[in-house]
């Protein structure tokens, strides 16, 4: 299978890339930071030589770059079996005190990137009458919490996009899965006072996504919700 992943240079995206590559699937990925992206590319190519792994840097919070990444994928003339809309960002704050443009920034990274990339790739997938789209939302898509502000708003919006897409794509045999992960330990938690054992592992979410992708054509996992065993932070 060919797997397209955004925000794949570290954290959850990297874990998703690794589990698919380790099972012999081909990876086509992007992220905003060129140095970490190519480091991950080298790691995957070395660790999983049986898989094709390609990467290009794009800042897909910008409409033109999200579309450019999609056009690059289309130029490869490959079946698009799986699309993982993982790119995202978190800026803390509350509606009443977060800096101006926080909402615009969060919507661009957490919603518009997925929207514009998916729209670019959908005609190919609809022509195939096959495929699976995973939209990486958040527990914050389900329950607002203090200091969540624009981030939570943007993740609620991404969940709405995902639910709408699920209904639209049924007749094209394209599966859509909305993923709601709670706190998982990634580089963003490094140096914090939170004990890593209090959080899930990024590989936990990746395993669930991979498993959902392996079901028969007759089954679609519509939602995946994961939380740390003791509950949310």
- Per residue in 87-140, pLDDT (tens digit) is 999 999 999 999 999 999 999 999 999 999 999 999 999 999 999 999 999 999
pLDDT in tens, 153-202: 999 999 999 999 999 999 999 999 999 999 898 876 766 788 888 899 99
Spatial CB neighbours of 225, under 8 Å, sequence gap ≥ 6: 139, 142, 180
- Report pLDDT for 224: 98
pLDDT in tens, 4-56: 999 999 999 999 999 999 999 999 999 999 999 999 999 999 999 999 999 99
What percentage of the chain carries pLDDT values higher than 90? Answer: 89
**Residue 231 maps to a domain:** no
DSSP structure class, residue 214 = T
Count of the separate structural domains present in the chain: 1
Give the structural domain span for 117: 2-226
- Report pLDDT for 195: 85
Query: At 105, which CATH number?
Result: 3.40.50.720
Helix (H) or strand (E) holding 223: strand 223-226
**Residue 232 maps to a domain:** no
Concerning whether 112 is annotated as a catalytic residue, the answer is no
CA pair distance 83, 147, nearest whole angstrom: 30
Q: What are phi and psi of 173, to 5 degrees?
A: 60, 30
Q: Which residues of 177-192 are buried (b: 16+ CB within 10 A; e: fewer)?
A: bbbbbbbbbbeebeee
Order across the sheet with 26-31: list the strands: 53-57, 26-31, 2-6, 82-85, 131-136, 174-181, 223-226
DSSP structure class, residue 99 = P
The whole-model pTM stands at 0.95
Length of the chain: 233
Contact 73, 4 (CB under 8 A): yes
Contact 13, 31 (CB under 8 A): yes
Q: What is the Rg, in whole angstroms, of the alpha carbon atoms belonging to the chain?
A: 17
**Residue 172 maps to a domain:** yes
**Residue 233 maps to a domain:** no
CA pair distance 40, 131, nearest whole angstrom: 25
Tokens 């999609």 -> residue: 70
**Residue 176 maps to a domain:** yes
Contact 130, 151 (CB under 8 A): no
Catalytic residue selected from 28, 112, 151, 210: 151
CA pair distance 41, 27, nearest whole angstrom: 9
Query: Which of 148, 65, 143, 68 has its CA nearest to residue 109?
Result: 65
């Amino acid at each position: 299978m060919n797997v397209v992943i955004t925000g794949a240079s570290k954290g959850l995206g990297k874990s998703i890339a690794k589990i698919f590559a380790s099972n012999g699937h081909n990876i086509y990925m992007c992220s905003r930071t060129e140095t970490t992206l190519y480091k991950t590319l080298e790691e995957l190519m070395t660790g999983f030589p049986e898989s094709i792994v390609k990467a290009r840097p794009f800042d897909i919070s910008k409409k033109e770059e999200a579309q450019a990444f999609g056009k690059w994928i289309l130029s490869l003339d490959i079946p698009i079996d799986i699309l993982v809309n993982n790119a995202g960002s978190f800026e803390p704050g509350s509606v009443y005190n977060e800096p101006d443009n926080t909402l615009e920034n969060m919507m661009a990274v957490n919603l518009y990137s997925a929207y514009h990339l998916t729209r670019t790739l959908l005609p190919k997938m609809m022509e195939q009458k096959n495929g699976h789209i995973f939209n990486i939302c958040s527990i914050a898509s389900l329950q607002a919490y203090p200091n969540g502000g624009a981030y939570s708003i943007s993740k609620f919006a991404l969940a709405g996009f995902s639910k709408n897409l699920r209904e639209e794509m049924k007749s094209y045999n394209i599966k859509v899965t909305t993923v709601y992960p709670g706190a998982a330990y990634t580089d963003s938690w490094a140096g914090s006072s939170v004990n890593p054992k209090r959080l899930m592992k990024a590989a936990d979410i990746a395993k669930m996504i991979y498993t959902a992708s392996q079901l028969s054509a007759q089954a679609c996992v519509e939602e995946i919700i994961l939380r740390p065993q003791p509950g949310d932070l």
